[in-house]
Amino acid sequence: MDLQDLILSLSRFWSEYGCVIQQPCDLEIGAGTMHPETFLRVLGPEPYNVAFVQPSRRPADARFGENPFRLGKHLQMQVILKPSPHEVQELYLKSLTALGIEPSFHDVRFEEDNWESPTLGAWGVGWQVLLDGMEITQFTYFQQAGGLDLQPIAAELTYGLERIAMFLQRKDSIYDLTWGGGIAYGKVRHQDEVELSRFAFHVADVEMLRRHFEDWERESVRCLEQEEPLVVPGLEAALKMSHLFNLMDARGAVAVTERVALIGRVRKLAVRCAKAFVAQRERLGFPLLARRGGEA
Amino acid sequence: MSHQFLLALLCEEIPANALPGARRQLEQGFAKGLEEAGFAGCTVRAFSTVRRLVVHVTGLAAGQPDRIEEVTGPPARAAFTPDGSPTAVALGFARGQGVSVDQLRVVKGSRGDVVAVTRRVKGRTAPEILAEVTTEVVGSLHFPKTMRWGAGEHTFVRPLHNIVAVFGAETMDEVVPLDLFGLGSRGSTAGHRVVAPGRIEMRGITGFEDYAARLEAAGVVVDPDARRAKMLARAEMLAAEVGCTVRPDPVLLDELVELVEHPGLVRGKFSSRFLELPEEVLVTTLRHHQKSLVLEKNGRVAGYFLAVADRPDDPEGHIARGYSWVAGARLADAAFFYAQDQRDSLESRVPALAGVMFHRTSGSYLDKTNKVRQLAVELARQAQLEISLEHLERAAWLAKADLVTAMVGEFAELQGVMGGIYALGDNEPEEVWMAVADQYRPAGLEGPIPRTLTGAMLGVADRLDTLAALLASEKPSGSKDPFALRRAALAVVKICAEFPLPLDVLDACHRAVVGRPGGDEAELQAFLQDRVRHYLTNVVGVRADVADAVLTAHWGVIAADVARARALETVRRDEVFGSLAIVFKRVRNILTKGTHGVLDERVLAVPAERELLAAVAAAEIRVAESLDEDDHEAALHALAPLATPLDRFFTEVMVLCDDSILKDARLALLARIERLFLRLADVSRLATEAR
């Protein structure tokens, strides 16, 4: 199965289940969890089911296109089911069937793996899903986001798309995967992995990154201090800070001593955004709650 | 007739580390709850799989016995007239209790006589009680981590999907109605998710064996011991098929047993080119990152491994292929790191330690390296160790360099081990690379200690430095010890005791702390002493009062402290040590009351004094001789002849007399005795049975 077939199959599956099929967050972010369609939607009482692909940037993981398993930018398929349905594990297994992975011929195990994001003030409890020994999905019941206790609880399924594709195609290098249309992953992405690696490790202007980190911090605060707080712009500014931090880190420009403090500054804003979002939804009367009543 | 109860909770996958504790708590909780409810003599057994918690109780009565209860009412004065006839109050009370007025009695209450009636109260049925106990015990189970789900109203280890709760005598056909986290109990459950996901009825179930058999038919082995035995048997069979044996790994096997409902294993293999990797790297990759058992041939790792699978078979070979593929990828990663690391010498990496923080209060690992290097050499000089100080210094300099290698960056548990391998590759002397390799030994109370004296000295110096640096800010409290300082201190104790190292730990603490801002020598010594006590009672196996008696006398050269404790543990059973303990307590008490000068023997003229003086002089000689021969038992025995003269002394002589010259001489005599005892142990600390 091509990488793009994989994406299409999963999108089709979760669309049929009733998810909103969203598009990736159009910023550089490290994981689908940071997408406002996850980070904000899991807050408050409103139900929400959504799925999207998120290119996830982790500059420090970049390997100049030389390592067969590691990328500075990889693809996640992110699914949020809020509240988490009672049969969420069975649902997940059905989604594997949609990829041609028939659980009755494989070993699928859910091994404890809890997740925490200090940057987002978020944590959850769950598993890594192992398919014949290979980690293919991170499965998390969110407990807290933006420092707020969540209720109801959302389930987050994060499929590692390259991993699953390697498994399905039995390829020993990411770059040998077939992406689709008869073209290999390497042909589509190798050059930009090389360039992104060079940028992240050697070229990125540390002074500029640091300056922009401060700029976007002020901008985020300004957004949140508007009479009617601008929640999504405030969050997006904080997400930019997170990526700037990751670049500084890859450049080796983050002293061990300042690391915690820098992450704390992003978290502080994420927490403010979370509070502002819940307050905003409350003012709006939690519109998605109404759908459960007569309207739906 | 004896009844039984079966409770089986079906959950989403429970973390392996939560299961042994849950089983223990279920057994204890049910036994306690049922006993308190009046069900004596029940047997409770708990079982589990990765998705199930199961409790089986036998020896239950059908219900609580009826009990006689006395209900007290209004004061007798109000209920009866002086001539004894009942008033309206008595009639009202009797009516309220449903008895006739002639059944009322008068009993003594706390405020005078009151009217009372004795009633028989029907005991409650076992199912009622079982429902209550289940709710209470399951609701108060403690897990390392809990979660909420769905509407977020309940908290448990993982979401709950089914509750079986059945009760009965020969067959458990009665469903015990109960509610947990919004879910009701029923008389059926589901089998293995993939192998047999259908419903399993509990009707007609005769006991745990029947339950276990019904589940096994549905792909689930509920008894962890049974899973372990089956897994081990399968492991041996899969190994034998390729002419190998399983490298024993009980710790990993224990974990694998908790990860599944069915004890399945598959055999994977990897390319023989990876066999050129250091064995530690191979084993760590397979064991830690794939939770796989390692197969060996003639004691060497073979190109196969066994991985856990939660099913009995591998119908299309996908599972073995999958695992092999993942293992190959991970080993390729490791081989890549290994090759990359070997491009540069270990020594060339030392400067990079400046960029790795040891602790926010104590600078980088390069700072630590310098401190440990200096401390190790100082301590070795002080203890007059017969080692090359040059090698020790070299080992200390290279010790932490592997922290900045790619391999340790990826496999943190290989720290030290990789340093040793890379140092060997750099042609460092054996003393040096072995010391680097062994610096983290022992990992706990069980693990082996460093192989060489250089390694032992390095390990002690490194940990003393860590303790001196971190004790002020990271002192462990309760179960919190994020920097494993207790383990570090215990490792110091274990190495000093078992190598043994002729090191004075008190002096070593001083050297580790000196010049360090905020360092507290006394605190570090007390912290170590606490671990010595722990070591004496838990590893050497002496009684707590023996450890106390030895350590309060003096301590510091731990191997010698251990020898004294061992000796005291043996001799304390001797009856005379009971008397010595009591009489020495008097010595110590009285010495707190007066000052004493030089002992002027001429002043001591009373026979009891002369006798004691002679006994002390004799004992001193024998103690000294015995200690010269390191015979601590003989030294302790040499104290025994002092018991009788001391006793007589206290009976016949008034120590704190008015004649100050005499008083001083007597106190000085006792002080001499105290000094002699304290060379060995403060036997006043020994617990004495009342006589």
Q: Tell me what ipTM this predicted complex has.
A: 0.94
pLDDT in tens, B635-658: 999 999 999 999 999 999 888 888
Which tokens in the block code for residue B576? 């005379």
* Shared-domain flag, residues A180 and A279: no
* Shared-domain flag, residues A126 and A158: yes
Beta carbons of B12 and A89 less than 8 Å apart: yes
* Distance (Å, whole) CA A176 – CA A185: 6
Report the Cα B145 to chain-centroid distance in Å.
19
Considering only CB atoms, A84 lies closest to which of B150, B314, B322, namely: B150
Least trusted range by pLDDT, from A187-191, B3-7, B145-149, B469-473: B469-473
> How many Cα neighbours within 13 Å face the side chain of A155?
23
A20 occurs within a structural domain? yes
pLDDT at position B689 is: 62
* Distance (Å, whole) CA A158 – CA A142: 12
Q: Is A167 in CB contact (< 8 Å) with chain B?
A: yes
Q: Is B311 in CB contact (< 8 Å) with chain A?
A: yes
CB atoms within 10 A of CB B149: 26
- Cβ–Cβ < 8 Å for B6, B205: yes
pLDDT at position B596 is: 66
Mean pLDDT of B260-273: 96
pLDDT of residue A183 exceeding 70, the answer is: yes
Least Cα distance to A76 among A31, A39, A29 occurs for A31
Which residues of chain A have a CB within 8 Å of the CB of B146? Answer: 125
- List all residues of chain A from 10 to 49 with a beta carbon under 8 Å from chain B: none
More confident of the two residues A111 and B517: A111
* Shared-domain flag, residues A266 and A180: no
Mean pLDDT score of chain A, rounded to an integer?
Answer: 94
SS3 A200: helix
Which tokens in the block code for residue B278? 């250091």
B607 exposure class (CB count in 10 Å sphere: 0-12, 13-18, 19+): exposed
pLDDT at position B691 is: 40
CB atoms within 10 A of CB B427: 9
Beta carbons of B319 and A132 less than 8 Å apart: yes
Mean pLDDT score of chain B, rounded to an integer?
Answer: 92
A295 occurs within a structural domain? no
pLDDT at position B593 is: 77
Which residues of chain A have a CB within 8 Å of the CB of B327? Answer: 133
* Distance (Å, whole) CA B132 – CA B127: 9
* Shared-domain flag, residues A230 and A149: no
Question: Looking at this protein, which amino acid is placed at residue B268?
Answer: G
pLDDT of residue A295 exceeding 70, the answer is: no
Beta carbons of B17 and A83 less than 8 Å apart: no
pLDDT of residue B434 exceeding 90, the answer is: yes
pLDDT at position A296 is: 39
* A211 phi and psi angles, rounded to 5 deg: -60, -45
Which residues of chain A have a CB within 8 Å of the CB of B13? Answer: 109-112, 127
Helix axes B521-535, B544-553, angle to 10 degrees: 140
The string of DSSP letters for A211-278 reads HHHHHHHHHHHHHHTSSS--HHHHHHHHHHHHHHHHHHHHTT-S-HHHHHHHHHHHHHHHHHHHHHHH
Residue of A nearest to B318 (CA): A106
* Shared-domain flag, residues A225 and A185: no
pLDDT of residue A293 exceeding 60, the answer is: no
* Shared-domain flag, residues A34 and A170: yes
Instruction: Give the pLDDT band (50/70/90) at residue B443.
Output: confident
C-alpha separations of A31 from A140, A259, B44 in Å: 14, 19, 47
- Cβ–Cβ < 8 Å for B261, B190: no
Which residues of chain B have a CB within 8 Å of the CB of A125? Answer: 145-147
Strand residues in B311-429 grouped as ranges (E): 357-359, 363-364
* Distance (Å, whole) CA B257 – CA B265: 11
Mean pLDDT of B47-51: 98
B442: Cβ contacts below 8 Å, ≥ 6 apart: B448, B449, B491, B494, B495
* Shared-domain flag, residues A222 and A96: no
Termini Cα distance of chain B: 51
Mean pLDDT of B451-467: 96
Domain boundary among A148, A183, A200: A200
Beta carbons of A134 and B326 less than 8 Å apart: yes
Least Cα distance to A111 among A86, A130, A91 occurs for A130
Which residues of chain A have a CB within 8 Å of the CB of B328? Answer: 172
pLDDT of residue B411 exceeding 90, the answer is: no
* Shared-domain flag, residues A141 and A58: yes
Mean pLDDT of A260-281: 95
Domain carrying residue A216: 205-290
* Shared-domain flag, residues A179 and A227: no
Which residues partner with A184 through β-bridges? A178
* Shared-domain flag, residues A190 and A245: no
Which residues partner with A80 through β-bridges? A50, A156
Pairing outcome for strands B300-309 and B293-297: antiparallel
* Shared-domain flag, residues A189 and A265: no
User: What CATH number corresponds to the domain at position A152?
Assistant: 3.30.930.10
More confident of the two residues B678 and B360: B678
What b/e string do you get for B443-467 counting C-beta neighbours within 10 Å, with b at 16 or more? eeeeeebbebbbbbbbbbbbbbbbb
> Sign (positive/negative) of CA torsion B475, B477, B482, B488?
positive
Domain boundary among A173, A200, A227: A200
Which tokens in the block code for residue B577? 């040590």
What's the total number of domains in chain A?
2
Mean pLDDT of A148-162: 97
A296 occurs within a structural domain? no
pLDDT at position B143 is: 96
pLDDT of residue B310 exceeding 50, the answer is: yes
* Distance (Å, whole) CA B285 – CA B501: 35
* Distance (Å, whole) CA B16 – CA A112: 8
Mean pLDDT of A239-257: 88
* Distance (Å, whole) CA B115 – CA B93: 9
* Distance (Å, whole) CA B7 – CA A284: 47
pLDDT in tens, B378-401: 999 999 999 999 999 999 999 999
Least trusted range by pLDDT, from A213-222, B131-140, B282-291, B653-662: B653-662
A113 occurs within a structural domain? yes
Q: Is the peptide bond before A152 cis (omega within 30 degrees of 0)?
A: yes
A168 occurs within a structural domain? yes
A183 occurs within a structural domain? yes
Instruction: Give the pLDDT band (50/70/90) at residue B545.
Output: very high
Domain boundary among A137, A169, A200: A200
More confident of the two residues A65 and B119: A65
Least trusted range by pLDDT, from A66-70, B276-280, B570-574, B622-626: A66-70
* Distance (Å, whole) CA B459 – CA A50: 54
Q: What share of chain A is helix, strand, coil (3-state, %, to 5)?
A: 50, 20, 30
Q: Is A132 in CB contact (< 8 Å) with chain B?
A: yes
Mean pLDDT of B247-254: 95
pLDDT at position A257 is: 62
pLDDT in tens, A6-60: 999 999 999 999 999 999 999 999 999 999 999 999 999 999 999 999 999 999 8
* Distance (Å, whole) CA B176 – CA B6: 9
pLDDT in tens, A95-142: 999 999 999 999 999 999 999 999 999 999 999 999 999 999 999 999
Instruction: Give the pLDDT band (50/70/90) at residue A292.
Output: low
> How many Cα neighbours within 13 Å face the side chain of A267?
18
pLDDT at position B337 is: 87
Mean pLDDT of B106-113: 83
pLDDT at position B518 is: 76
Q: Is B273 in CB contact (< 8 Å) with chain A?
A: no
* Distance (Å, whole) CA B415 – CA B406: 11
Please give the share of chain B, as a percent, with pLDDT higher than 90. 74
pLDDT in tens, B175-223: 999 999 999 999 999 999 998 989 999 999 999 999 999 999 999 999 9
pLDDT of residue B690 exceeding 60, the answer is: no
pLDDT at position B355 is: 80
Instruction: Give the pLDDT band (50/70/90) at residue B358.
Output: confident
A35 occurs within a structural domain? yes
Which residues of chain A have a CB within 8 Å of the CB of B198? Answer: none
Q: Is A109 in CB contact (< 8 Å) with chain B?
A: yes
CB atoms within 10 A of CB A18: 8
pLDDT at position B371 is: 96
Rg, C-alpha atoms of chain B = 36
Least Cα distance to A132 among B386, B329, B536 occurs for B329
A22 occurs within a structural domain? yes
* Shared-domain flag, residues A114 and A247: no
Which tokens in the block code for residue B451? 């192989």
pLDDT at position A256 is: 62
User: What CATH number corresponds to the domain at position A284?
Assistant: 1.20.58.180
